[in-house]
Structure 1
Amino acid sequence: MAQLTWLITGCSSGFGEHFVHKIIARGDKVIATARNRRKIEHLKDTGADALQLDITDTQGNIDAVIAKAVSLYGRIDVLVNNAAYIAAGTIEDLDYEQFLEQFNTNLFGTIKVTKSVLPYFREQHHGMLVFIGSLSGWIGHPGVGAYASSKFALEGLAEAVHKETCDLGIRTLLVEPGRFRTNLLSQENLKSIASAIPDYLELSEGLLTRLKEQNQTQPGDPRKLVDIIIDMVREEGVANGREVPFRLPLGLDVYDDMKDKCTSTLKLLQDWQDVIRSTDYA
């Protein structure tokens, strides 16, 4: 495959930083972005470019950054929508502004960056959108409802844009990672609210303890995940000779939990088929 130019959001740590190193090693070009440019300046030592991009900024300002990114090499071939964080707390304990902040990054920011890149992809008749979703886009675990709802919404966004653009030479890959050893649960990235409601104290204390314990003990190796995604984009390695799917769960925990949910959903449809299919006009 010819050399590709990638633009990646959220490169200050985690998957984003691993993407930069792995892509450069494959011989492609990378434009790394982050809200705080100082945190990604060191990535320029790899040969990557570094641009400041706050995905919660206005559409106009984001458009300007994307135009600058395109001017560096004359094109963008792959957009990786990676920037995200977790707001932990029960539905009652989180206020509206905290929900809005969660969606501004995990969903609305992703929408704005995607909208900025799509015109270039359409003009090129070529491009690939990569969305980093989550197991939480399938299962709403207690205490992370804000994060889960943003990732459920991201699933719908990715599926819709895939169907809108697949006939225009644009490919879409929705990746659904499980628990990987990134900095997502670090004190810097995790925004947690201890419950002030007696009925939720046990749930809240258990959740915050587990999240603290799981930080840097998650089973998934982010380097392996990134390698697989690059294979999917470049249609090589594990993707060589295989049809690249739209949806790609990654992680043993995702496989087990997603299979359980699919099995229970199929059973529901079978057990309640007579009721489910009974609502049309006679």
Structure 2
Amino acid sequence: MSLSSSVSIKPHQPVWLVTGASSGLGLAVAIEATKTAAVFAIGRDQHGLEVAAKAGCRTVQLDLRASADHISAVLADVIKTVGRVDVLVNAAGYILEGAVEETSEQELEDVFTTNVFAPIRLARAVLPHMRQAGSGVIFNVAGIGGFSGSPNAGAYCSSKAALATLTEALQRETGPLGIRVCLVQLGHFRTSFLKAGHRVHTAHRIADYDPVLEPLRKAFNGLNGQQPGDPVKAARALVDVASWGIDKIPHLLALGPDVPAAELNAHEAKRQAMLAFEDITNSTDLEA
């Protein structure tokens, strides 16, 4: 971990922590937030953090696969430096591509560590300070992939679904304490998400799955660089929503017009599957 110290912080300036700030939405949010806030841009890639630094961010180089104790210590150093945290944006994440059977224990652990455990560890690190202040905002970025389990991306989809469910619980636990937690459901945005480094393939390949997965691999290739969403506009929207005040920030923020349709379609498919066997569903109560 390394922490830069090149940006002064004004007494009443909001303090933001943004993960995934080396690229993509995280970098766009960090840059946008510097217009009104003191931003600590957190990322693993030093080159990306240099972009954030040039935009006026302090930078924290941190591998989110580190232990909970290490992340807590890093955040403690940041909070000691600045005195508080007003907004945490958990935007870091990557996709692991491959069949479930092809996924090794380590690969599964790594994607869940980055996409689920790290956001929760960061939240746990800042929540004591937010509870003491009686205010604070956390944005957890999940996404369209978590609505259903997609072949070729089961580990990723399940990690985003897990983050969404944990976020919903966190909302209900912290809301009465004056803290707002917002689940951001992100659509398809034109970032480096599907490029090498962010799109990781399982090391093991099973040829039997190739007829099933090859069309999806080609679809991923075709979508890369063709996503309809503008990450700068998404960042502006998120930063604008953060300015509304804790009581007005929504619990659920869909970014991208493809998000509502995808979630509704996923729910409708599950509803139809349940109704198809309603006679069995309704046959399991104890007799009166």
Q: TM-score, normalised by structure 1?
A: 0.90
Other-structure match for 1:150: 159
Kept after mapping to 2: 8 A contact 1:192/1:208: no
Other-structure match for 1:253: 258
Other-structure match for 1:12: 22
Other-structure match for 1:167: 176
**Residue 268 of structure 1: CA displacement?**
5.2
Other-structure match for 1:123: 132
Query: Tell me, what secondary structure is at the counterpart of 1:176?
Result: strand
**Residue 267 of structure 1: CA displacement?**
4.6
Q: Map of 1:1-282 to 2, 5 A cutoff?
A: 3-25=13-35, 27-193=36-202, 196-235=205-244, 243-267=248-272, 275-282=280-287
Q: Distance in 2 between matches of 1:229 and 1:277?
A: 43
Kept after mapping to 2: 8 A contact 1:194/1:204: no
- Name the aligned partner's letter for residue 160 of structure 1: A
Q: Distance in 2 between matches of 1:225 and 1:38?
A: 22
Kept after mapping to 2: 8 A contact 1:76/1:127: yes
Query: Tell me, what secondary structure is at the counterpart of 1:129?
Result: strand
**Runs of at least 5 residues in structure 1 that lack an aligned partner in the other structure:** none
Instruction: Note the alpha carbon deviations across 1:149-192, whole angstroms, 9 max, x for none.
Output: 10111111101111111100110100111111111111121112
- Name the aligned partner's letter for residue 124 of structure 1: A
1:143–1:79 Cα change, 3 Å:
same
Q: Distance in 1 between matches of 2:50 and 2:202?
A: 32
Aligned residue-pair number: 276
**Residue 235 of structure 1: CA displacement?**
1.1
Q: Distance in 2 between matches of 1:6 and 1:46?
A: 14
RMSD: 2.2
Q: Distance in 1 between matches of 2:206 and 2:197?
A: 25
Q: TM-score, normalised by structure 2?
A: 0.88
Q: Distance in 1 between matches of 2:73 and 2:253?
A: 31
1:252–1:119 Cα change, 3 Å:
same
**Residue 249 of structure 1: CA displacement?**
2.1
1:4–1:272 Cα change, 3 Å:
farther
Kept after mapping to 2: 8 A contact 1:181/1:217: yes
1:168–1:271 Cα change, 3 Å:
same
Query: Tell me, what secondary structure is at the counterpart of 2:17?
Result: strand
Q: Which moved more, 1:105-114 or 1:257-266?
A: 257-266
Q: Which moved more, 1:162-171 or 1:223-232?
A: 223-232
1:200–1:271 Cα change, 3 Å:
closer
Query: Tell me, what secondary structure is at the counterpart of 1:201?
Result: helix
Kept after mapping to 1: 8 A contact 2:151/2:213: no
Q: Distance in 1 between matches of 2:44 and 2:149?
A: 28
1:269–1:205 Cα change, 3 Å:
closer
Query: Tell me, what secondary structure is at the counterpart of 2:237?
Result: helix
Kept after mapping to 1: 8 A contact 2:29/2:238: no
- Name the aligned partner's letter for residue 43 of structure 2: A
Instruction: Note the alpha carbon deviations across 1:39-70, whole angstroms, 9 max, x for none.
Output: 30332222211112222112221112111211
Q: Which moved more, 1:78-87 or 1:207-216?
A: 207-216
Kept after mapping to 2: 8 A contact 1:140/1:149: yes
- Name the aligned partner's letter for residue 261 of structure 2: D
**Residue 246 of structure 1: CA displacement?**
1.0
Query: Tell me, what secondary structure is at the counterpart of 1:152?
Result: helix
1:86–1:19 Cα change, 3 Å:
same
